[in-house]
Amino acid sequence: MTDHCDENLCYSHFSMPLLGDEFPELKVNTTHGPMNIPGDLKGSWFVLFSHPADFTPVCTTEFLGFQERITDFEGLGCRLIGMSIDQVFSHIKWVEWIKENTNTEITFPIAAANDTIAMQLGMLHPGKGSNTVRAVFVGDPEGKVRLILYYPQEIGRNIDEIVRAVKALQISDKKKVAMPANWPLNSLLKDRVIVPPPNNIEDAKKRPSQYDCYDWWFCHKPLEE
């Protein structure tokens, strides 16, 4: 990647983890104390999401949205961690403001990243200034990156989709199946799941007798099977 420098940062060493990579080990201060990510999250799914800045309207609605769905994440054994390059004292004051003005307590930690961490995760983009973009990283119990989402600063995230994605990843891992678009509300398959295509001719011939199929390469079944 070519160098891109502004008055504060140079992006010549811009990098980010890819799907399936080990999540880079980060040592951060959070509103719940020091944390090693993903080391302290070993054995648990987690969602690390960055926001551009504390005390901003869209970010406030997002934090309220994540908190409203906290029981869904907890039910999936998934921990939430917020992050921006604001300092911890700013996070603490913002959490207090949210509690005082919306009567909602933010119960998950918010990490204070620095520019190095933000660039390491690809959260600082050239032309976006020093604020972090709205990145979402879903990590599995082994600390591997399983899903990455990026939103521009102008658009708030759909929290329901993040819950759905974590649930779908867990089911896919456990059942060795694929999930159709908009699962579990797919217009064609409803809440059924897709059987991975066979990898040899003999198995391809057997598929229509084993599952419901549109063709041997497109077979599906109920989730509970």
Residue 118: the pLDDT is 79
pLDDT in tens, 122-165: 777 656 566 678 899 999 999 999 999 998 888 999 999 999 99
On the question of a cis peptide bond just before residue 152, with omega within 30 degrees of 0, the verdict is no
Residue 129: the pLDDT is 61
Residue 15: the pLDDT is 65
Q: 195 with 184: CB under 8 angstroms?
A: no
d(CA 128, CA 10): 13
d(CA 131, CA 146): 24
Q: Say which CATH topology domain 26-157 has.
A: Glutaredoxin (3.40.30)
Residue 10: the pLDDT is 46
Q: Is 78 an annotated catalytic residue?
A: no
Write down the catalytic residue from 5, 10, 59, 219.
59
Q: Which of 56, 60, 49, 57 is closest to 98 using CA atoms?
A: 60
Domain positions in the chain are 26-157, 176-225
d(CA 37, CA 16): 15
Class of domain 176-225: alpha beta
Q: Which of 20, 7, 84, 75 is closest to 50 using CA atoms?
A: 84
- CA distances, 175 to each of 5, 13, 46, 100, 223 (Å): 47, 39, 20, 44, 8
- What are φ and ψ of residue 81, in 5° steps? -140, 120
Report how far apart the first and last C-alpha atoms of the chain are (Å, whole number). 47
pLDDT under 70 in the chain at which residues? 1-15, 125-131, 225
